[in-house]
Homo-oligomer: A and B are copies of this chain.
Amino acid sequence: MSYPLGVSLRADSARVREQMLLAARRRIEGGDLDLPLNAVAKDAGVGVGTVYRHFPTRQELLEALAADSLAELAGAAERAAEAADAGAALGDFLAAALSRLDRDPALALVLGASDAACDDTMRRSRELLGALTGLLDRARAGGAVRADVTAADLRALVCGVHHAAEVAGTGETGRYLRILLDGLKP
């Protein structure tokens, strides 16, 4: 039994796509933030052109790698926005975001980029910022956050804390987050 041509091609394409993402993930988690596309192609056992067909730019590959993390973050923000104690929920969300950033190098690059290359990333980003805005409004109303902080600030500041922890070495994320949380109070 063979699949109809269209389906078979799509299935094959999806398989190849997964191979490339797997190879890319292995590389970037191994600390190679450059992520040379030629090397990804070789690791995945496909031609370079195939990488470029699936991911026209390096940024699109990074966004594909970070997609799960970004979706999880957006979900966490939405749950946080409904929590009873908005101030505490904000702290928990930021801790979760930093923990993800520590484990997923691609997420740091995507969250730090000024704008998204893929529609999917754009959507998730908007979801995230929207939920965060709601969360901030409630936290502000509860007196937990100063007046002038926006969701975009929060995104930037989380990237900043992550970067600071990277500069310092390892294991400082928690302390730096506490400093940020204190600084966010009115």
Contact = CB atoms under 8 A, between A and B. Distances in A.
Interface of A: 111-112, 114, 146, 148-149, 152-153, 155-157, 159-165, 167-169, 172, 175-176, 178-185
A80 B62 CA distance: 43
Nearest to A185: B182
Interface of A is mostly: helix
A172 B150 CA distance: 12
How many chain copies does the complex carry?
2
16 contacts: A111-B167, A114-B167, A155-B167, A156-B165, A156-B172, A156-B176, A159-B164, A159-B167, A160-B162, A160-B163, A161-B164, A178-B183, A179-B180, A179-B183, A182-B183, A183-B183
Contacts of A111: 167
Given A156-B165, A178-B183, A179-B183, 12 more contacts: A111-B167, A146-B179, A148-B175, A149-B179, A153-B172, A156-B168, A157-B179, A159-B164, A160-B167, A160-B176, A161-B164, A182-B183
